[in-house]
Structures are given as structure tokens and as C-alpha cells.
Amino acid sequence: MVSDMTEQTDAQLVQQARQGDSQALAQLFQRYWPAARATAYGVLGQLHLVEDAAAEAMGVALQGLNGLKEADKFGAWLHTIVVRTARQMLSNTVRQRRVEQAKQPPEDLHTVPDQLEQRELVCLLHEAVEQLPDLQREAVTLYYFEGYTVEQAANFVDVPVGTLKRRLHEGRQDLQGVIQQMKSGRKPMDAHRETVLKQLEQLLNPDLDVDRKQVQLVIQQAMKLRPYPRELMTKIAKQYFAKQYGTPESQAQAAMVMKKMMKVLRESSPRLNDPSHALCQVAQAIQAALSTFELVDLWGPEEQTDDHIQQMLKSLSGQGDMVSHLASTDLSLFLYRTRTIFFQDDQGGWYTMRELAQLDETPPDLWQRAGLSDAFVLHWNVTEALDLQTLEQCLRDLAKAVIPKRPFTLQPYDSPRYRSALRMQFNDSTLPAAIGGILMANQDDENERQRASVMLCLEAWASALSGESVGLEDATPYRDAMTP
């Protein structure tokens, strides 16, 4: 005889629901729907949003029952999901108000000198934040620049709220001293930073004979500096390129290498064109879910490749600036296909070329650890305010649409390329599902657009979709392309 479901425990109902019992699902819904609405109202305080938040959270919980480790804790688990959903909805509402306010004309128009002074102060503030210790910089950036509440920021970096508050307090204290020094015309002194900057400046001396290994060590240290010495590193890169490729013959050789590398990166693997393969299926699902992003060709027609390479060579040698298709496009949201290289460490984790450049020592068997990934790169190219929450929500919505039952983590990601960034990973994968963030502002951009870039590693998504491991391809073609 079947017992009355109203008398069954949460654990029993969860177990039956996992086996496909629709009545058990309905009972869980009826049992917790009033609590879900009450919790959502406690966060939102706005009745017109409560139903949507509670319904979305309840759907996530009931569809993700297989991810619940302790079946008797369904109520507490649902409460966490409702709170997170409601906070995200509240954050989206607040951010939308900010965007609308930003579009309205100001009451008082600043004079040009006032605008320049304001921009300079903003730059100084960002520079001061960049010099904070890692954990303080992370907290201050998320809270003050990226629009997260204290609770959201704490959840994002996976620490208690009290810990996040302490980091914010310590960051504010440190900032006061740094900003006072900057306002008085003095830069804060950091012994290690000053040493690395002097070593970088020495590399610009054309008469100095420096050991190649020593150059690599200095560059690796510079990659870890905050703020990142972008201008100095650009000068060094141009000087190195001009020295290495100063003749027409050497430039022709460099052009040949670049053309071979571009050929590898622009050609998708056969798996991506095979409708029966999980990689092709997940790529199609991602494109469908990202309908607001227009698919573009990164380099345009292949017959224009030589022209692009010549532009790059001139830019790298300091003889001109390369006008990138990505920087000059009028599109606000777009994506493109490419391939990218990853390297595996001793623990099985996969890392990008940029991350590898920050390691103190490069593994001697580097190319035995390499793999070639098919990827989508998403780009935001907008005039309105852009924060990390926008990117986070995009990835959450994408995962919900493509692989709704696969748990994942999102963590802050530190790279000199980004103002603020994140790294997404499915819980059972060692390959990142997504890496990217808000790009550092381009001071020469007259349109003052804000840009963001996030790379999706399709193998990670395909593995999550199919339930089977989809590995990277052999990186030998990329390695061979680097050889003249």
C-alpha cells in the first residue's frame, strides 16, 4: 500500500522524484512554494518580482535534484538557491537603473578641463587599487567597481561575509594612505616593484648584453606587477621585435610563421563539423542560446591575411598601429570561432599561454603537456556601463540553457589584460569552461567604449553535455607552425 505523500520525509520525496515520480515532485513543490515566496520577498521587497524569483529558483532546484548530496536537506538547499536567485534579480534591477541614469543628460555640463581632471582622478584611483594586496584588491574591485553587494562578493570568492567585510575595511585603510601620496604628487614606494621596473628599463638599453634567461625572469616578474607596467612592456616588446626582425628577410620569415599560426587557429577541427559529435552539438546549442551575439569572422576573407600580417608587423616594430577588426567594429555583441592552446600541469589542470608566462619556471616537457582546443570568444563592445556581473549572468544563463543540470564554479581570475575577470569550471572537469573579463580601458579610444572578452572552451562544454570526456586535440600543428 502506498503511503500518503504528505507524511513522507523530504529525503523520501527527493529519492522518488529522482526516479521520475511526478507526484513526489509536485509534493515537494507544494510543501516549499510558500517558503520560497516568503524568502524571495525578504530579499526583494517587491511583490511584482517575487513570483518570478521563487518560480525560477524552484525550477532550478527540482531539475537539479541529482546534485543534492544530502536528500534530507532539500529545504535548506532550496533556501540558498532562492536567496541567490533573488539577489541576482535585485542586482540586475539596480544595474538597469544605473544604465538608465547614465543615459540621461546631466544637469550641469562639465567643462573640458573638469572632465580631464575627473578622468585623471579615476585613473589614479584605479592605480591605487591595483597596488593593494591581492585579496584586498579583489574585494574592493568586486564591491566598488563591479557592482556586487557584500554578500554576492563573498559568495563569489567563497568566503564568509565577515571575511569579505574585513578585506574591504583593510583595503579602504590602505587606499587612504596611497591616495594621499598620489594627491601630493608622490608615488607609493614598493621596493620589489621599483627593482623590477629598473630591471625593465635596463632592457631598453640597446648596448646592454643581457642573458636570455635573465630577460625571461624579469618579464615573468613584471607580469605579476600591479599595476601592470603596460607602457614599459610595450616599448620592450617593440624594441625586441625590431632587433630580432630588423631586416626584410627576417620580417618575411616572421610573416611566414604568423601566417602558418593563423591558419591553425582559424581552421576548426573536423569534430566541430561532425553533427554526430558532442563538440558540434554543444557549439550549435551555445550559438542558439547566444542569439544576441552575432557570429563574425575574426580575420575576414583569407585573401586579406597578408595585409593583416603586414599591419601586425608594423605595429610590433613600432612603425605604425594595427587597426583591429575587433576594436573598430560597430557591433555591440559578437562572437567568433578560433582555436587556442592549453598546457597541463602535474595535477591535471589546464592553463593558458598567458598563465604559463607568469610561472617562475617553464616545464621542460612543455609541448608534451600541450593541447589544442576549439573555442568561441564572446565580445562586448558597448558605450554603457559594463561590469563583471553582466558577464557572470551571461555565463549562468548560458549554462542553464545548454547544460542545466551540470554544477559549476565561478572564481575571480587575475590577469594584467583585464580590469576584472572570472574563470568558470564544471565541477568534474580540469579544463576551464570559460575565461575572461572586462578589458583594461584603451586611453586612445575616442568613443570611450567599454569592452569585455570571454573565451569558451568547447571541449569542457561538450564533456558536460555528453557525460563523456571530450579531450583536446594534439598541439603539434601549432608547435610546428611556430617553426620557420
326 vs 271, residue with greater confidence = 271
Cell triple for 465: 553535455
Cell triple for 468: 563523456
Question: Phi and psi at residue 421, in whole multiples of 5°?
Answer: -150, 170
pLDDT at 10 over 80: yes
Do 343 and 351 touch, CB atoms closer than 8 A?
A: yes
For 280, the 3-state DSSP assignment is: helix
How far apart are the C-alpha atoms of 299 and 311, rounded to whole Å? 12
% residues pLDDT > 70 (the chain): 78
Indicate the pLDDT class of residue 274, thresholds 50, 70 and 90: very high
Average pLDDT of the chain, as a whole number: 79
Please report the pLDDT score of residue 377 as a whole number: 95
Do 70 and 41 touch, CB atoms closer than 8 A?
A: no
Indicate the pLDDT class of residue 125, thresholds 50, 70 and 90: low
Neighbouring residues of 246: CB distance < 8 A, sequence distance ≥ 6: none
Indicate the pLDDT class of residue 44, thresholds 50, 70 and 90: low
For cell 543615459, name the residue: 103
Element (H, E) at 242: helix 230-244
Please report the pLDDT score of residue 249 as a whole number: 86
Whether residue 227 has a cis bond before it, omega within 30° of 0: yes
Task: Name the DSSP class of 301.
Answer: S
How far apart are the C-alpha atoms of 206 and 328, rounded to whole Å? 35
Nearest one of 376, 382, 417, 366 to 398, comparing CA atoms? 376
How far apart are the C-alpha atoms of 376 and 168, rounded to whole Å? 35
Do 474 and 403 touch, CB atoms closer than 8 A?
A: no
Instruction: Classify 255 in phi/psi space as left (phi over 0), alpha (psi -120 to 50) or beta.
Output: alpha
Strands 450-457 and 370-382: what pairing? antiparallel
Indicate the pLDDT class of residue 91, thresholds 50, 70 and 90: low
154 vs 110, residue with greater confidence = 154
Cell triple for 280: 558540434
% residues pLDDT > 90 (the chain): 20
Task: State the average pLDDT over residues 145-158.
Answer: 81
Q: What is the pTM of this model?
A: 0.66
How far apart are the C-alpha atoms of 477 and 265, rounded to whole Å? 10
Indicate the pLDDT class of residue 435, thresholds 50, 70 and 90: very high
Alpha helices in 64-160 (DSSP H): 74-103, 112-130, 134-140, 150-157
pLDDT at 318 over 60: no
Please state, as a whole number, how many other Cβ atoms lie within 10 Å of the Cβ of residue 293. Answer: 20
pLDDT at 122 over 80: no
How far apart are the C-alpha atoms of 436 and 423, rounded to whole Å? 7
- Is the C-alpha dihedral spanning 113, 119, 123, 125 positive or negative? positive
How far apart are the C-alpha atoms of 271 and 284, rounded to whole Å? 12
